[in-house]
Structure formats: C-alpha cells, structure tokens
Amino acid sequence: MEPYRIKVVEPLRRTTLKERSRILQEVGYNLFMIPARYVYLDFISDSGTGAMSSHAWARMIEAEEDFSGQKAGEDFIKTARKITGFPFIQPVHQGRTAENILFNLLFKKGDKIFSNTHFETTRANLERIGCKVIDIPDFRPPFCGNIDLQKLESTVKREKKLKAVILTLTNNVKGGQPVSIENIKETYRIVKKKEGILIFDASRFADNAFFIKRYTNSKKSILEICQEMFEYCDILYLSSKKDGLVNIGGFIGVRDEKLYEKLREKIIEQESYPSSGGLAARDLAAMAVGLEESIEEEFLRSHIEKVNFLGHILKENGVKIFEPIGGHGVIIIPRHAIPYSAYTLGAEIYLHTGIRGGVFGDEFRLAVPRRVYTSEHLRFTGERISVVYKKCKPAFILKLANRPRTFFNFFARFKAVKGKSP
Ligand SMILES: Cc1ncc(COP(=O)(O)O)c(C=O)c1O
C-alpha cells in the first residue's frame, strides 16, 4: 500500500464524449496537444507530474531567495554528493539543459556516441552538434535496459578510440527497463580500454537501483546500490522531474574540476549564477528533499508495484502489454495492424474514457506519476482501457495531416477517416 496519507486533494475533471470528440478533432488527434483540463486521468508522462511531500513544501516556503550562495543550494549539493559520490555538482533547471550545456562542452561534429537508448532530447542535442548517435539496446530479460555489450565491443574494436557511451538508467524505452550492475561495470571497462567517457543519464536512477536489488536479491540498501552504480561513470546528469520527486529541476555531476569550471561559465552565460543553476531557491530546497525521498525503499516499492498492478489489471483483462513491466510505465501493444495504430488506440482510449496516455514511436505508454493516483484509480484505468482495447475494430483510422520537421510524436497532426475497418 501507499506509504503516505493524503493531505491535499485536487478534484478530477469530467468531460462528455461530445467534448472529447471535439477536442480530438481540434488537436489533430495528438494526445500531447489536448489541454490538460479536458483529461480525466493523465498518464502521458511521469515527468514533473509527481506529488511533493509536505516536508518538501515546507522547505520551499522556508527557502531564502538570495542571488548567490543560497542555503537551499548547499543542502541540495550535500544530498547529491552523498547519493552519487560525485565531488562537483551543478544544479540545472531540467534534464535537457544539462544535455545542451554538457554536450556542447564535450563533443564535436562527427563524434560517435553509443547508448542503450538515447532519450529523444538526448539524441536531438547530440545531433544538433553533428554527432552520430547509435542505439544498441539488449532487450533480454530481466535487465531489458542493458546495452548490447557484444555489439559495443565489436563496433569499437574497429575504432582506435571511443568518444563516449551514454547509459540511460533506467532505459526510458519499454516503460523504464533496468540496467544491471554487471552491464554498467562491463560498459565502463570497454569504454576505459578505448579511453572514452561513460556518461549516465540517471533520470530514473532510483528505479534502477530498486530493480537491481529486487532481481539480484541484494542485501544492500538502495543508497549503497546507487553509490555502487555511480562509481562506474565519469559524468552524470539527470532530470529531477522523475525519480527526483519535484516538478522542476535537475543536475550535472562531474569529477574533473576543470570541466566543472567550464560548466559554471556556461551556466552563468546561459542560465543564472551557478549556485542557483537557473532555479529559485525554493526549487533547490524541494530538490534536496525530493532526492533524499527518492531512495526510500518503501516508497520505491510502492511506486514500482503500482506500475506493475496497472500492467496486471490490463493483462488480466486481455490487453497485450510489454513484459517485464517497467519502472514508470506500462507499454500497450496495439491489436490492429493499421497505420499509426498506437495513435489510433490512444485517441480511442481518450475518446471513450477521458484517460490519456502517450505515444512514443509505435508504442502506447501509460506513465504513472509518482504519489498521485491511488490503486483504485489504476484499477479503474486498467479496466476501462481494456474495454476499448478489445473492441473488434477501431471506430476510425488516422491519416497523417501534417508531418512535423522534428519530434513527430509531439507535433504530428492527423485526420480521422471514419467507418473504415482495419
Ligand atoms: C531518460 C530521460 N532523459 C532526459 C530527459 C529530459 O529531461 P527534462 O524533461 O527534465 O528536460 C527525459 C525526460 O523525460 C528522460 O526521460
């Protein structure tokens, strides 16, 4: 059960089928573009959508808004150092800022960067510089987030040097799949042999540590597992909007003092004074508390069990999902072999239930915001979605009306062609 009780509540917003049908047409059947006030239960992202604790809110009120040397920043850095073991910590306002600043300092046109899977903004920030971005995931269970070590080794054998590998922990694809400690260590070994750097995109590091503990029956604490994971990388960055349990924030960790100095120069040029990282002191205060809470085992168990519970409700009711279920979301595999099937499924689910998920590539994902929905909300979600999923044919199919230049899933617009069977 949830290891907390509820103090503040927000009413859910009901809409009618007619309203939802109108909204879908207005937004070109793209779920990201639906105004949130028309969504009943929202599973489009687990990022920035979690609930903060009363402790975090209290610290936000207490935080003193100074220009530099903020006490809240000191508290945050202390916690970040403890969990990661990194000596130099630079707060930033979110994950993609870290990517932009860091990659511009580290990489140049033509550099090859390998990963278990680059997140969309990671890829975009690297490609803007002109880097060649290569995903080599290894989906073998239970650690379906691993990088394919054989492919990594054989690919880099041909190269004299290896620039960098980015390990995304957990791997964001397939709803957040963990990377094993052995995979981390072996990647580090290969990278070091070729004089490269290993970077962690550690936005869901605590989920990763929890899965390591669970799958290996480890007696170590979550903190100890985190510390062990972070020993095997040169640089880390993360968005605190996921496991960090805040609505905004992130940070970069480096071991090299010279790189840290360069980072600080970039931060002052583009964000704000380095001690703030472009955040208000209240945000830094919340980040310090959120980071501390993120590694509480009881909370992690509850969150990951909730995602698992939703997956099982769906499965028991005949919905095909990706297994093993990930740490922050359930991936639903569409039934109908039609073009844009995940978009059609998502639009139909929203139309009939008011529940919103997100489409990433060919997959429809329900990401579970942390500490927001109760198990009853999840049961309801699983049961209602399964009714829509099992319909013998979709009420409409989608035709592409506008192909965006980039970020297809965020910006594409469709038209519904009604009454056509798949
Ligand atoms: C794995 C991963 N890396 C980086 C980011 C970017 O972080 P932010 O949204 O804070 O910019 C995200 C966001 O969802 C993510 O999932």
Cα(245) to ligand 1 centroid in Å equals: 13
The mean pLDDT values, 10 residues at a time, for the chain of 422 residues are: 94 96 97 98 98 98 97 98 98 97 98 96 97 97 97 89 96 95 98 96 98 98 98 98 98 98 97 96 98 98 98 97 97 91 96 96 94 97 97 87 93 85 44
Where does CATH 3.40.640.10 sit in the chain?
Answer: 54-294
Q: What is the fold of 54-294?
A: Aspartate Aminotransferase; domain 2 (3.40.640)
- The pLDDT value recorded for residue 160 is 83
- The pLDDT value recorded for residue 421 is 46
Cα(203) to ligand 1 centroid in Å equals: 7
Q: Does ligand 1 come within 6 angstroms of the Cβ of 240? A: no
* pLDDT tens figures, 55-71: 999 999 999 999 999 99
* pLDDT tens figures, 281-306: 999 999 999 999 999 999 999 999 99
- The pLDDT value recorded for residue 419 is 61
Q: Does ligand 1 come within 6 angstroms of the Cβ of 239? A: yes
Supply the residue whose CA is at minimum distance from atom 5 of ligand 1: 95
User: Is the model's pTM score more than 0.85?
Assistant: yes
Cα(277) to ligand 1 centroid in Å equals: 17
What is the best residue among 32, 45, 49, 119 to mutate for testing ligand 1's pocket, by most ligand atoms within 8 Å of CB?
119
Cα(96) to ligand 1 centroid in Å equals: 6
Cα(359) to ligand 1 centroid in Å equals: 16
- The pLDDT value recorded for residue 420 is 54
Q: Structurally, what CATH architecture does the domain formed by 17-39+296-418 represent?
A: Alpha-Beta Complex (3.90)
Q: Does ligand 1 come within 6 angstroms of the Cβ of 171? A: no
- The pLDDT value recorded for residue 33 is 97
- The pLDDT value recorded for residue 110 is 96
Where does CATH 3.90.1150.10 sit in the chain?
Answer: 17-39+296-418
Q: Does ligand 1 come within 6 angstroms of the Cβ of 42? A: no
Written in H, E and C, the secondary structure of the chain is: CCCCCCCCCCCCCCCCHHHHHHHHHHCCCCHHHCCHHHCCEECCCCCCCCCCCHHHHHHHHHCCCCCCCCHHHHHHHHHHHHHHCCCEEEEECCHHHHHHHHHHHHCCCCCEEEECCCCHHHHHHHHHHCCEEEECECCCCCCCCCECHHHHHHHHHCCCCCCEEEEECCECHHHCECCCHHHHHHHHHHHHHCCCEEEEECCCHHHHHHHHHHHHCCCCCHHHHHHHHHHCCCEEEEECCCCCCCCCCEEEEECCHHHHHHHHHHHHHHCCCCCCCCCCHHHHHHHHHHHHHHCCHHHHHHHHHHHHHHHHHHHHCCCCECCCCCCCEEEECCCCCCCCHHHHHHHHHHHHHCEECEEECCEEEEECCCCCCCHHHHHHHHHHHHHHHCCCCCCEEEEEEECCCCCHHHHCEEEEEECCCC
- The pLDDT value recorded for residue 156 is 85
